[in-house]
Amino acid sequence: MDATTTPVPVKRSGPVAGRPAMSMFGALHREIDRLFDDFTRGGLPSFASAGATVRMDLADTKAGIELTAELPGLEEKDVQVTLTDNVLTVSGEKQAEKEEKEKNYHFIERSYGAFSRSIELPADIQADKITATMTSGVLKVVVPRAAKAEPKKIEVKPAA
């Protein structure tokens, strides 16, 4: 045995054959694999599936804050909007059932999923004037701001 060989096997570091290297593309590779797996199992996951979040757009306007959330397949009765200690929460549950009856088979598919998303609001809002409307699976919440208080000049008088 010479100095370049050893009887003990040496484990080499690096990617294992067939697995993606842990790099900035590793997470992307895993996500693409997960999407293909979901697709081959019967379709893309719904927004309320495990690990998914509700997509929301926030706009800060002069009048206040406007929140828009896409909630496909949901109706007003499926969604709750609450405000607690200046934290606005949009939550709900999707319950879908699909049934197909053909001559040679009977297929029933059910999907359920709860979601919740909270956003901390600034202190200068009018909580009693918040409105929420829903049209075609799109929720729109308008949070008006309170009018800014004008500084009041206080006259300084000499002490008596």
Tell me the CATH number at 111: 2.60.40.790
Q: Is residue 126 part of a domain?
A: yes
pLDDT of residue 50: 42
pLDDT of residue 139: 94
Query: How many other C-beta atoms are found inside a 10 Å radius of the C-beta of residue 113?
Result: 16
Tens digits of per-residue pLDDT, 18-33?
A: 554 556 677 777 777 7
Question: What averages of pLDDT result for each successive group of 10 residues across the chain (160 residues)?
Answer: 52 49 67 68 47 76 89 87 93 80 78 84 90 93 88 90
pLDDT of residue 142: 94
φ and ψ of 28, to 5 deg: -65, -45
When divided into structural domains, the chain yields a total of: 1
| Interatomic CA distance for residues 68 and 134, integer angstroms | 10
Q: Is residue 154 part of a domain?
A: no
Q: Which two tokens stand for residue 75?
A: 């109706």
Tens digits of per-residue pLDDT, 129-151?
A: 999 999 998 999 999 998 887 88
Domain limits at 41?
26-144
pLDDT of residue 44: 44
pLDDT of residue 132: 95
Q: Is residue 149 part of a domain?
A: no
Q: Is residue 61 part of a domain?
A: yes
Task: Write down the pTM of the prediction.
Answer: 0.56
Q: Is residue 5 part of a domain?
A: no
pLDDT of residue 40: 58
CB-based contact 13:21 (threshold 8 Å): no
Q: Is residue 79 part of a domain?
A: yes
Q: Is residue 15 part of a domain?
A: no
Q: Is residue 151 part of a domain?
A: no
